[in-house]
Structure 1
Amino acid sequence: VHAHTSAESPLRFVMEATGVYHEKFAYFLESKRYKIIIILSNKISNYFRTP
């Protein structure tokens, strides 16, 4: 992961909120100071339906 990051393009993780299953991984990434974006599943499915 570190070989592909730079100051110009910070690494971000996007994950779907899946009950409590995403939480441990999100806390782990946060402890490593990564940018985390959590999206509700109904929002992402509606996004793909828009023209």
Structure 2
Amino acid sequence: MSTELCKLKKSLKGELPSYILLVNQPRFVCTSCGRVANKKKNLCNPERMREK
């Protein structure tokens, strides 16, 4: 599976459990496409999400 969620698209269907592990506690958001992830290495243009 690709490490950048922004590039996954159609391969997501067969890899749903792996995908969930990458996004279950998001700390970063991609400023290009809006996807979220636990680690910034999984996004192409990551920015840390602000806490409340």
Normalised by the size of structure 1, how large is the TM-score? 0.29
Structure ID, larger Rg: 1
Normalised by the size of structure 2, how large is the TM-score? 0.28
